[in-house]
Structure 1
Amino acid sequence: MPKDVLLVALGSTAGLRRAEAGFAASLARAGVSVATVTAAPQRDVRTLMATDLVWALAARRAAVAGIAEHAPRAVVYSTVTAALLWPRPGAIRFDAPAAGNRPGRHGLWQRPLERRRLAAAPLLLPHDAAALDDLGPAAAAALRGRVVAVPIAVDPSGPADGVRDLATITYGTNPHKKGLDRVLAAWALARRPGEELLVAGIDALPDGLGPAPEGVRCTGMLDAAAYRGLLRRARVFVTAPRREDHGLAQLEALADGCALVTTAAPGPYAALPAARALDPRWVLPDGAGADALAAAIRTALDDPPADLAVRGPAAVAEHGSAAIDRAVAERVLPRLLG
């Protein structure tokens, strides 16, 4: 049966799958018929160039099948990678372009093809308008007229004023990019007896960082409900990324009432303004050392605002489902479907 919109989802990470499901739900709440096709899971390969190729091919296969089955009026590709080998032009929803997160040899084939895809797309739907900055001033200016920024929907997962019996938590997938080594070094300095850092998303610390020392525990992969339950119990979410393309985990932490201690990483880091508004002591310069990060962790643990459980969710209200639904209905669909 024909659909209004076909969403070609990459689904390569848990965070991306949540974002894709949320966007599809927002489209449906706006009253359009939407079908989602998802790229088949891919094995790990050695380089980012090869990783993007196998996922782009998988997304193309999913798109070809979805277009044949659903005859959509419009196609939305989730991520630039999903659009690289598209069988039909469509809107592109993305957190960051390859121009920013695939530097040097890592993006030799992706970057030039990305420029052509962005130029040909009828509509661009970045999670944050700052994502275009990676393209350079001239290229970004040429695309602005086809851009509607639509953040990932982030809502509180439950009451944020419950017992906070966990000290700190971080998200450990893609550990080098997320600066897990920096977090562990800072935690070794900041920790007091009985306090624990939970590292969500991985079963064990990667080679070179493990085994986990006292006061550090890996949770393994968790479903969304279990992970958000930990956020509602944690006092501080800490991260020191080398680059942040969006920061979904950080936005979720704020929505669930955690303090957010972070470095101001390059990239369209959507949670930074909210973290600074809550307490500028928690946001350190990019590349800050372990001593400074440890001091910020202790400040967040020992001297948080009394009303953090209220102010944290309020700080990310613009990312809530109601706000995203309005943007989709009022700004996206008129341009996507005409």
Structure 2
Amino acid sequence: MARADVLIVSLGGTAGLREADEELAASLRRAGARVEIARTQRPPELRTYAALELAWALNARRAAVQAIREHTPRAVLYSSTTAALLGPVPGAIRFDAPAAGNRPGRHGIWQRPVEARRFNAAPLLVPWSEGGLEEAPTPRAGAVIVPVPVEPSGPPEVKDIAALTYGANPEKKGLDRVLAAWARNGRAGEELVVAGLDAAAGGEWLERAGGAAAGAVGGTGGTGGTVRFTGMIPRDEYRALLRRARVFVTAPRREDYGIAQLEALADGCLLVTNAAAGPYAALPLAWALDPRLVGDALDVRAALDDPVPGYAARAAAAVAPFGRAAVDRVVAEALLPRLVP
């Protein structure tokens, strides 16, 4: 078997992370590299982040050891801080956000100090965004910023859905805030679609959002807009919903990157969001496109009733640096030469 140029040790804890790793591998291959992926086995669910991430890190180490023995790679790239924490050999580290930023207090009691040592010793850091790099501990290795590619998912469709949100992680994504805002903003005949969460779990979040949300929004009374929960759906169906939605609304408590928001902009949605903490790559784009739509009030009505002319075209231009062709240039011209000199 030919020796690999790059071995990606993929944590792959979510579908989004797995897709991001596949995208990076494909981009490296287009640049001429021989790439292998070591996939980490999912551990059982544990009660704390610290314990769960130790289990993930141990499994990532096992996957790396086996793949290094099999492929003898010229370079190893750990995809996520957790994958790198117990890595058996030095390697580049790719991450959306460091533990220094998203694991405060007891949640990162062992991860943060180990991460600091790893970031200092790594030959290269490969953050998804400038914001992710800014959160990284210092001293640290040099860096090449490589976004996750975002492309329009298809031709524009009729915008027959008033608003869409993604609720697969409702606490993190602030679904209660979104539902409360829709209770204030939604009107009869308008629908908010919540993707990634079923109706049973969604009912609990309607109650959490307050009486107005559970009534007018939940469809049990009142005159406001309605809510529809799709549950988990295939990715192509989700992107089809984006193409039909006029507004994408979200209120994350913290945003490590925000791929859903970037995809929404790529598919022609107006982005209504709060100014969440974290790297949040789409936030500066949202401010530039229409600052009225950024804030804790989540002014969906302004987006629906008074959209800025040309928003979709300007959004497409704003996400162009995240397109596959732009990312391929960064990978070929900046990343691969640093990984495999």
After TM superposition, is the score higher than 0.5? yes
Structure 1 residues 29 and 230, CA gap change in structure 2 (3 angstroms) = same
Confirm or deny that 1:332 pairs with 2:328: no
TM-score, scaled to structure 1: 0.92
Confirm or deny that 1:199 pairs with 2:194: yes
Distance (whole Å) between structure 2 residues aligned to residue 54 and residue 207 of structure 1: 33
Distance (whole Å) between structure 1 residues aligned to residue 9 and residue 50 of structure 2: 21
- Please report the RMSD computed on the Cα atoms of aligned residues, expressed in angstroms: 1.6
Partner amino acid, structure 1, of 2:176 = D
Question: Residue in 2 aligned with 1:89?
Answer: 90
Distance (whole Å) between structure 2 residues aligned to residue 272 and residue 59 of structure 1: 32
Question: Residue in 1 aligned with 2:210?
Answer: none
Among residues 272, 276, 288, which one is paired with 1:261 in the alignment? 272
Confirm or deny that 1:171 pairs with 2:172: no
Question: Residue in 2 aligned with 1:222?
Answer: 233
Question: Residue in 2 aligned with 1:156?
Answer: 152
Confirm or deny that 1:12 pairs with 2:13: yes
Question: Residue in 2 aligned with 1:303?
Answer: 306
Alignment of 1:1-338 (within 5 A): 1=1, 2-135=3-136, 139=138, 142-143=139-140, 146-160=142-156, 162-204=157-199, 205=201, 208-210=204-206, 213-214=218-219, 215-284=226-295, 288=296, 292-293=297-298, 296-338=299-341
- SS of aligned partner of 1:146: coil
Question: 1:206, CA displacement in angstroms?
Answer: 5.8
Contact 2:132 2:279 in 1 (8 A): yes
Distance (whole Å) between structure 2 residues aligned to residue 222 and residue 85 of structure 1: 34
Distance (whole Å) between structure 2 residues aligned to residue 49 and residue 314 of structure 1: 40
Question: 1:264, CA displacement in angstroms?
Answer: 0.8
Distance (whole Å) between structure 2 residues aligned to residue 73 and residue 118 of structure 1: 20
Question: 1:185, CA displacement in angstroms?
Answer: 0.8
Distance (whole Å) between structure 1 residues aligned to residue 101 and residue 277 of structure 2: 9
Question: 1:104, CA displacement in angstroms?
Answer: 0.4
Distance (whole Å) between structure 2 residues aligned to residue 78 and residue 266 of structure 1: 22
Distance (whole Å) between structure 2 residues aligned to residue 157 and residue 314 of structure 1: 15
Partner amino acid, structure 2, of 1:22 = E
- SS of aligned partner of 1:186: helix
Question: 1:329, CA displacement in angstroms?
Answer: 0.6
Distance (whole Å) between structure 1 residues aligned to residue 90 and residue 168 of structure 2: 32
Distance (whole Å) between structure 2 residues aligned to residue 148 and residue 135 of structure 1: 13
Question: Residue in 1 aligned with 2:222?
Answer: none
- 1:186-224 superposed Cα distances (whole Å, 9 cap, x missing partner): 111111112111111222436842477222222112222
Distance (whole Å) between structure 1 residues aligned to residue 304 and residue 39 of structure 2: 41
Equivalenced residue count is 324
Question: 1:307, CA displacement in angstroms?
Answer: 2.7
Q: Percent identity?
A: 62
Structure 1 residues 206 and 85, CA gap change in structure 2 (3 angstroms) = farther
Question: 1:305, CA displacement in angstroms?
Answer: 3.1
Question: 1:306, CA displacement in angstroms?
Answer: 3.8
Partner amino acid, structure 2, of 1:195 = E
The runs of 5 or more residues in structure 1 that have no matched partner are none
The runs of 5 or more residues in structure 2 that have no matched partner are 208-213, 220-225
